Chains A and B, each alone.
Chain A
């Protein structure tokens, strides 16, 4: 496991330590950071977040958190799967939306 300070990405104000299983791509690192932020807002430490992590079953994100994630993605990347009518199951599916 690599303990890594995630890439700051488009938002230069934030730095969040994340546990990441595989080598990060730009999109993946940003997405993992965003999900980590959601945990921070709850007042909880983020769990392990990998490509196989399921957003609802494993990470327990509720519809409001997914809505927030959708808004963050829209803001940073200009688009998001939810607005395209796609509901990704895993972090990996989310990442591949941006890499396709």
Chain B
């Protein structure tokens, strides 16, 4: 399926760039020929499934396309693993073959025959922000179904703001391949490098987490924003706050702003384009015949979706089309379903259940705060107290900022007020998502 997409563009426009990184440019034609060679090698190995532990996004893309051509199930490993880590993960996932940046060539081997593309699986690991990462099995064709393909799409230039081992990164890659457009990989995820990549490569589409967007907003002025070519702004992977949506609309008045509710297990379930955080309450009215439906059970959102995973790796039962608990706590306010945070991140303060998100919203609105994370800290008196880690804007006076924070928190119900405030260099994150771990 991936191989068909590549073949189409490699035939029509072989010189068009598929992936542009600091080091080099991978064009559709070159990707096709290199992937053919790697796929021949994969076929010679006698395995059905392969791991991909490369750091360079170009190598990862070639390996993914090669796996599709060879009919092998790929799994992209998280970046930065050492040999031991790679070995452990390979053992856990049952991979006898793991490709690295030094891709093997199979130049003397026969070209693989065109496969019956009925099943084209890919294994995607969850980010693991709230536990050990799990391996979700997806089908490329099902994933590509939810991608719409407008006419001018081939001229789009997407920035890669996720890792390709993440579900969201794979979604961006699929968007690029379906439309035959170009993916830009910035030098690093640091806001300065991202802004430069946006400018130099005239990026038109950027899909990233709200945390990524919040940090970018902090690094960019109105003038800089005006000079950029962004026309599609997408947020996903974490709960989206109204303040981030509003700020993005201010900075990029010409752009379409979409937030996506998706997960590695449930797939990409719904896109919201109305400029409001949360989901419209009407989603609860969809019947079970609908491709995606929602229900709320004990304040937790449940989803039933046709684009979800086929099941977890190494689990017997396949989970197609069943109801899945999302782990997201929700509140209905008027005509809207609001996300109140991950259930695992709820802080228990003397019996009161406190969500970190409203606390972080208040903190981020204080002058001098770049970003903040609220989480539970163990307390012998109340079980937990709310702790807050704050990244201050460079040059801000921490004493003043803390005093302003304390003042702002007086608007919160007493259990929700942070009882320990620390200034940190950066928040703990994984895959551009904030980690809120108890007892840090």
Interface residues of A (CB under 8 A from B): 13-14, 40-43, 62-64, 66-68, 70-72, 75, 80, 82-83, 85
**A40 to chain B: which residues have CB within 8 Å?**
406
Are B419 and A71 interface neighbours, CB within 8 A? Answer: yes
- Which residues from B are CB-within-8-Å of A82? 379-381
Once A70-B381, A71-B377, A82-B381 are accepted as A-B contacts, the answer to whether A64 and B415 lie under 8 Å apart by CB is yes
By the criterion of a CB under 8 Å from any partner CB, how many residues of chain B are at the interface? 20
Chain A neighbourhood of B253, CB < 8 A: none
The answer to whether residues A62 and B379 also contact, given A67-B385, A68-B420, A71-B419 and a CB cut-off of 8 A, is no
Cα–Cα distance between A40 and B406 once the two chains are bound (Å): 9
CB <8 Å contact, A64 and B406 = no
B362-390 residues at the A interface, CB under 8 angstroms? 377, 379-382, 385, 387
A68-B414 in contact given A14-B399, A75-B420, A83-B380 (Cβ < 8 Å): no
Tell me whether A71 and B410 are in contact (CB under 8 A).
no
Q: Using a CB-CB cutoff of 8 Å, which residues 205-263 of chain B contact chain A?
A: none
Chain B residues near A43 (CB, 8 Å)? 407, 410
Q: Which of B382, B398, B415 has the most CB atoms of chain A within a 10 A radius of its CB?
A: B382
Closest-CB distance, B359 to chain A (whole angstroms): 14
* A-B pairs with beta carbons under 8 Å apart, 25 shown: A13-B399, A14-B399, A41-B406, A41-B417, A42-B410, A43-B407, A43-B410, A62-B414, A64-B349, A64-B350, A64-B385, A64-B414, A64-B415, A64-B419, A66-B381, A67-B349, A67-B350, A67-B379, A67-B382, A67-B385, A68-B385, A68-B420, A70-B380, A71-B385, A82-B379
Chain A contacts of B407 at CB under 8 A? Answer: 43
Q: In angstroms, how far is the closest chain B Cβ from the Cβ of A10? A: 14
Q: Which residues of chain A are within 8 angstroms of B380 by Cβ–Cβ distance?
A: 70, 80, 82-83, 85
Nearest 5 A/B pairs, CB to CB: A68-B419, A67-B381, A82-B380, A67-B379, A67-B382
**Whole-angstrom CA separation of A18 from B88 in the bound complex:** 58
Complex Cα distance A72/B398, Å?
A: 17
Whether A71 contacts B420 by the Cβ 8 Å rule is yes
Bound-state CA distance A98–B368 (Å) is 36
The interface bits of chain B over 325-344 (1 if a CB of A lies within 8 angstroms of the residue's CB, else 0) are 00000000000000000000
CB-defined contacts of B349 to chain A, threshold 8 Å: 64, 67
Known: A64-B419, A71-B420. 20 other contacts (CB 8 A): A13-B398, A40-B406, A41-B406, A41-B410, A42-B410, A43-B410, A62-B414, A63-B382, A64-B350, A64-B382, A64-B385, A64-B414, A67-B381, A68-B419, A68-B420, A70-B379, A71-B377, A71-B385, A80-B380, A82-B381
CB pair A63 B350 closer than 8 Å = yes
Distance in Å from the Cβ of A91 to the closest Cβ of chain B? 17
